[in-house]
Amino acid sequence: MILCLDKLFLIIISYLKENYIMSTENFEFQAEVGKILNIVANSLYSEKEIFIREYISNASDACDKLRYESLQNRKISNSEELKVLITFSKKTKTINIIDNGIGMEKEELIKSLGTIAKSGTEEFIKKLETNKEKNIDQIGKFGVGFYSGFMVADKISVLSRKAGSKTSWKWTSDGKGGFNLKEDASHKIGTKVTLKLKDDADEFLESIRLSNVIKKYSDHINYPVSLLDEDDKGGKEEKINQSLALWTKNKNDLKKEDYENFYTQSGLNYDKPWKIFHNKNEGTINFTNLIFIPSEKPFDLLHADKKINIKLYVKKVFITDNCESLVPKYLRFLVGIIDSEDISLNISREMLQNDPVLSKIKNNIVKKVLLELEKESKKNKEEYGKFWENFGSTLKEGIHEDFTNKESILKLSMFHSSSQKSWTTLNEYVERMPESQKEIYYISGENKENLMKSPQMENFIKNNVEVLFFTDSIDEFWLPNIDNFNNFKFKSVTKGDIDIKQSSSNKDNKKNNYKNFEKLIAYLKSFYGKKVKDVKVSSRLTNSPVCFVADDSSMDIHLENILKKHKHLNEISAKILEINPEHNLIKYLNKIDTTDKKNLSKVVTISNLLLDQAKLLEGIPLDDSKMFCDKLNDLILESIK
């Protein structure tokens, strides 16, 4: 009787756990996730097999993290061999990707699988929606690799238990409206991802097909990846990959394909590496580096939260993939690993930030990369130009941030100019300069096409004086750190007085112009008041009637606009208005008697329009857009009467 009651009690407890204690919680997907899942699941991909690589990479990362945590935390044991197991069954039409890594808690499952970092979401959605062929094989670039499983699966479940935890959780979704989550006591440490395959995904239930995909993408994963056919009762797990750290091999024994495969799986990259650095450094500091420069620009390269994709190992033990002390921020486009024997194996992530060995490794890597870039720039300028288009704006951050290497980076820097069709370096610019030129002329703005149309460029174009175009925002910030280049100072064509070498007759004309326009200048200064800093006769203009310039001690116009746009400035400062004495509109205005009340209305209208024109050319908001349009319309109507 007592035995029966015990059984009944266990049944009741089991029922309560299943229906109450372990009740299922339902969640709706974040709006962006739902939209992406819908597109991913219904888009045509040329390589659906990508999902296997994504899940194996996630599993490998989980093993890396457990391996590290077990060194730091005695409560977390790691007695079993870390591995990845893929099982499949034709009967149930399922694939399981299983690892015995770090695992995830409830909150991690919700955060990692129910939301997407917004940094790349909009761009990813736009790329998917606007691509006509819908042939997007670069899903990994957007940090949504997990969702690639819905290309082949109707339903995905994730069963996971965090190392050190007594509770496991099961996450389930059909990739449509949302997901559900419930406690599940059946799972051990690690994660098991189960995909219920669609009818048209049967190819991934074949052992040969799965083996080929694993070898293609994950041959150099640090952990064994095994395959098991669940329908074969007598079958055994078959190890598929080499599971050998590629960087430990002699580079003479490696082929191009070996590097490319490792590059693909190590950083979730879909392009080919542009440059490979594989070196074993021995001496004062012992370390091995296998580092790649991508051939394509990552979508999030310029995002403030972009992480450096370099993994640190100590004696082949993964330590961290988020160590900014290892590589400077301006080299965040690098991908790869660094493995050192001289760093303590049980060092904490916090102590890494101040480790002197790490600092020396960092200096070594920086010099190596910059030296290789210098060699490439001299050997193949066209190929180097492709690199610069992708990563130049990021590399130039080092001029501002890295005092030690700023001169080297500046020499590597390339710019567009007013006289060159292709990229040019500062050395090349200086070599083309006439002997009489004592400064390096530049202008800042959004792009070359718009800058060529700038009124401040008119006299430079007319006299064939080359001007460099600084089109990256970072250019404005590194300039104050650089006093000169090869003893030539940088001179903005939108600041201060410009002294393009002129003949004595031209200089005399300039003096006469100042005298001839003294009354008009005096009137405009009085009329504009604090709206302008000064009014001067221009030596820059040849076609336009007016333009704005800043004086030498003021902030560059383009930089000021950037800071105002990002709300680092409350208002735009008053500028110097330069007038073109050769322009018919200025000549006409100069002839009008400004003291005659009959002319007052016309003079006021023209003066206001000239000021607004100068603002529009520099992207400065108008004080009264409606008034500008009204006055412009009045002039148009008057001209057609």
Task: Provide the token pair at 443.
Answer: 């202008």
Mean pLDDT of the residues in the chain: 83
H or E stretch covering 514: helix 504-516
First to last CA, the chain: 113
Evaluate whether 339 touches 377 at the Cβ level (below 8 Å): no
Site of tokens 């490794």: 361
Residue 184, pLDDT score: 87
Is residue 505 over pLDDT 50?
no
Nearest to 422 by CA among 450, 448, 440, 456: 448
Q: Work out the average pLDDT over 275-279.
A: 93
Going edge to edge, which strands form the sheet with 168-173? 25-28, 178-183, 168-173, 153-161, 190-197, 94-99, 84-89, 225-229, 238-239
With tokens 């052992």, the residue in question is 207
The Cα 468–Cα 428 span in angstroms is 11
Tell me yes or no: is domain 413-493 CATH 3.90.230.10: no
pLDDT in tens, 428-445: 999 999 998 999 999 999
Nearest to 411 by CA among 434, 395, 432, 389: 395
The residue-averaged pLDDT of 490-515 equals 70
Q: What is the pLDDT of residue 636?
A: 83
What integer pLDDT is reported at residue 9 of this predicted model? 54
From the list 560, 541, 542, the residue with the least C-alpha distance to 550 is 560
CATH architecture of 503-641: Up-down Bundle (1.20)
The pLDDT of residue 262? 85
Q: Which residue has the higher pLDDT, 322 or 141?
A: 322
Instruction: Provide the pLDDT for residue 502.
Output: 54
Q: pTM of the full predicted structure?
A: 0.70
Query: Which residue is listed with tokens 């073109």?
Result: 580
Does 507 have pLDDT greater than 60?
Answer: no
Q: The domain 22-237 belongs to what CATH superfamily?
A: Histidine kinase-like ATPase, C-terminal domain (3.30.565.10)
Range among 12-16, 344-348, 423-427 rated most confident: 423-427
Q: What is the pLDDT of residues 180-190, one digit of tens each?
A: 999 987 778 89
Lowest mean pLDDT among 408-422, 500-514, 528-542, 563-577: 500-514
| More confident site: 481 or 239 | 239
Mean pLDDT lowest for which of 343-347, 523-527, 538-542?
Answer: 343-347
Quote the DSSP letter at residue 485: B
> In angstroms, rounded to a whole number, what is the distance separating the alpha carbons of residues 307 and 365?
17
Q: Answer yes or no: is pLDDT of 154 > 80.
A: yes
- CATH number listed for the domain at residues 246-395: 3.30.230.80
pLDDT at residue 23 greater than cutoff 80 = no
Beta bridge partners of 194: 96, 157
Q: Which of 89-93, 501-505, 519-523 has the lowest mean pLDDT?
A: 501-505
User: How far apart, in whole angstroms, are the C-alpha atoms of residue 502 and residue 476?
Assistant: 29
Angle made by CA atoms 606, 608, 614, in degrees to the nearest 5: 100
CA dist list (Å): 509 to 135, 481, 498, 505, 582: 64, 38, 16, 6, 11
pLDDT bracket for residue 351 (50, 70, 90): low
Q: How buried is 258 (Cβ within 10 angstroms: 0-12 exposed, 13-18 middle, 19+ buried)?
A: middle
Q: Domain residues of the chain, as ranges? A: 22-237, 246-395, 413-493, 503-641
4 pLDDT above the threshold of 70: no
DSSP run (H or E) holding 57: helix 50-72
- DSSP letter string over 18-49? IIIITPPEEEEPPHHHHHHHHHHHHS--S-TT
- The pLDDT of residue 425 is 96
pLDDT in tens, 406-430: 999 999 999 999 999 999 999 999 9
450-477 tens-digit pLDDT: 999 999 999 999 999 999 999 998 998 8
Structure tokens at 548: 């704005």
Tens of pLDDT, residue by residue over 549-596, are 999 888 888 888 888 887 888 888 999 999 999 999 999 999 998 888
Lowest mean pLDDT of 42-56, 71-85, 239-253, 381-395, name the range.
42-56
- Percent of the chain at pLDDT above 70? 83
Alpha helices in 189-299 (DSSP H): 207-218, 256-267
- In sign, the C-alpha dihedral spanning 567, 569, 571, 575 is negative
